[in-house]
Amino acid sequence: MKNILNQRILPVLAVLFLISIVTSCKDDDEGTPTVGTLKGIITDGSSTDLLADASVIVFNADDNAPVASLLSDGDGVYSIDLEEGNYFVKVYRQDYLSVPAPGLSSIPFSIVVGQTTENDITLFPSNDTNVGFISGTVAAGGNAVPGALVVASNGTNAFSGVSDADGKFVIFNVTSGSYTVSAWLAGYNSDNIPVSVTTDSEATNTSVSLTQNASGSLSGQVRNISAGNIDVDVALVHPITRETIPGLIGRTTSQAYSLSNIPDGEYIARATFENDNRVMDPDRIFKFGEPQVTMTGAAESIDFDITNSITVNDPTNDASTTAPMEITSTTPTFSWTAYSSTSDYVIEVTDATTGQVIWGGFDTSGADPVKNIVIPSSSTSIDFNEDSNASISALEVGKVYRWRVFASKNDQNSPTGWTLISASEDQLGLIKIVE
């Protein structure tokens, strides 16, 4: 595998990602800076080794469009000058899990003229050994299409990458097997290309064609339940990778939203995924799943119910970043603020690199969800694995975890006998265990 990385991946990446979609602006005649700098170090989370040749893609946080691509150098450092604005990054490397972790979205950061914004990234090795990768291009009418989410899917599992300024893409860490590759971008419909991936090999020259005729639209209302009205984000995401489709994210105005130019296909619809003290109605999600919609070029409508979130206190990342809080305890105490009208709480701890629940949460294998743990409403804290039912007895050093807490209320009218009335934010409660 190492030889392939040296002989095949690195040359491809050198062409693919060293080309930036935007270039740095030069200082004016007086020497006044016109750009800010994004800089970070990429390390191996299991060994703390510095990682060279990690692919860093920088996105404009306002429209979800990629604006720059680059590689980390031999010291694991990446650095680029950017115009003032809001951005986020995604990081990929063969044999490593991507960042952000599955089920999470990147938290935007701001670039300020004349200042350096530091954004260090930790990548964790993938446990999969029978993987290869896919490379190719995305084009429409013979012209390269940048910024498309390119997905290889077999209907159950999916892997993704993003097309660069020349329409080129690489999808890393694809488990060997047969897939259909398609591209997703507002305004375009995609053809579907069959691709076969073999272990330690590259599936090359995958050409995905787009047609600029996507005409679907989605609109509706976001209703605040037991919470003051605020405007929130609304997005359509891929049903398997859970990644936002480029161009299909927006915000409500007076609690109403509208998304247009939606490609044909199936989507999960989300509202208020940002850290804004609001969450989607957790009871509806756990009992009926996240809202889904199939688009076929017509106008569709979905309304969302949102409510106040539970405040997590400690340990947790800051709301302005997905950089996890570093802690030394392998059996930490999780604490939160009491939520009104709660009968009991449920805690859920997941491995943030895989999305696998390791403690608490819900059993959804039956007709109705069942709580795996019940915490009395009089308690607003609990030690990890306090009931000895976690899949591991202690959290592992070097790993990143996410914990959430849910508020439940007894409800005789519900088939389960209870109703979830709130939850903590999707993108809080991130922790990393360090020595």
pLDDT in tens, 361-394: 999 888 888 999 999 999 999 999 999 999 999 9
Residue 102's pLDDT is: 61
Residue, of 9 and 306, whose pLDDT is higher:
306
Encode pLDDT of 277-336 as tens digits.
Answer: 999 999 888 778 889 999 999 999 999 999 999 999 999 998 877 778 999 999 999 999
Do residues 135 and 168 make contact, with C-beta atoms less than 8 angstroms apart? yes
CA distances to 14, 18, 144 from 11, in Å: 5, 11, 20
Task: Quickly state the pLDDT bin for 10 (edges 50, 70, 90).
Answer: very low
E strand spans, 168-324? 168-175, 177-184, 189-190, 193-197, 202-211, 216-225, 233-237, 244-251, 256-262, 265-271, 278-280, 292-295, 299-301, 304-308, 312-314
Same fold, 216-307 and 309-433: yes
Distance, CA of 101 to CA of 427 (rounded, Å): 11
The type of residue at 77 is V
Number of neighbours of residue 289 by Cβ within 10 angstroms: 10
Judged against a pLDDT cut of 70, whether residue 225 lies above it is answered with: yes
Residue 367's pLDDT is: 83
CA distances to 139, 151, 267 from 148, in Å: 10, 9, 16
For the chain, give every domain's residue range. Answer: 1-125, 128-213, 216-307, 309-433
Encode pLDDT of 100-134 as tens digits.
Answer: 866 666 777 889 999 999 989 888 888 788 999 99
Element (H, E) at 13: helix 10-16
Do residues 430 and 324 make contact, with C-beta atoms less than 8 angstroms apart? yes
Topology at the third CATH level for domain 309-433: Immunoglobulin-like (2.60.40)
CATH architecture of 128-213: Sandwich (2.60)
The type of residue at 370 is V
Element (H, E) at 3: helix 2-4
Closest CA to 59 of 74, 48, 47, 69: 69
Closest CA to 34 of 44, 24, 43: 24
Do residues 167 and 145 make contact, with C-beta atoms less than 8 angstroms apart? yes
Judged against a pLDDT cut of 70, whether residue 24 lies above it is answered with: no
Distance, CA of 318 to CA of 1 (rounded, Å): 38
Residue 18's pLDDT is: 42
Strand, helix or coil at 12? helix
Judged against a pLDDT cut of 50, whether residue 144 lies above it is answered with: yes
> 16-30, 55-69, 96-110, 415-429: which has the highest mean pLDDT?
415-429
Element (H, E) at 4: helix 2-4
Strand, helix or coil at 347? strand
Judged against a pLDDT cut of 70, whether residue 12 lies above it is answered with: no
Do residues 290 and 269 make contact, with C-beta atoms less than 8 angstroms apart? yes
Topology at the third CATH level for domain 216-307: Immunoglobulin-like (2.60.40)
Residue 103's pLDDT is: 61
Do residues 317 and 327 make contact, with C-beta atoms less than 8 angstroms apart? no
Q: pTM of the entire structure?
A: 0.79
Residue 222's contacts (CB-CB under 8 Å, 6 or more residues apart) are 231, 232, 234, 252, 255, 256, 257, 271, 272, 303, 304, 305, 306
CATH 3.20.20.150 fits 1-125, yes or no: no
Do residues 64 and 246 make contact, with C-beta atoms less than 8 angstroms apart? yes
CA distances to 295, 349, 376, 416 from 275, in Å: 28, 18, 26, 29
Distance, CA of 98 to CA of 160 (rounded, Å): 10
Over pLDDT 90: what percentage of the chain?
A: 65
Residue, of 214 and 247, whose pLDDT is higher:
214
Do residues 432 and 399 make contact, with C-beta atoms less than 8 angstroms apart? yes
Distance, CA of 97 to CA of 222 (rounded, Å): 34
Encode pLDDT of 34-67 as tens digits.
Answer: 999 999 999 998 888 999 999 898 988 877 777 8
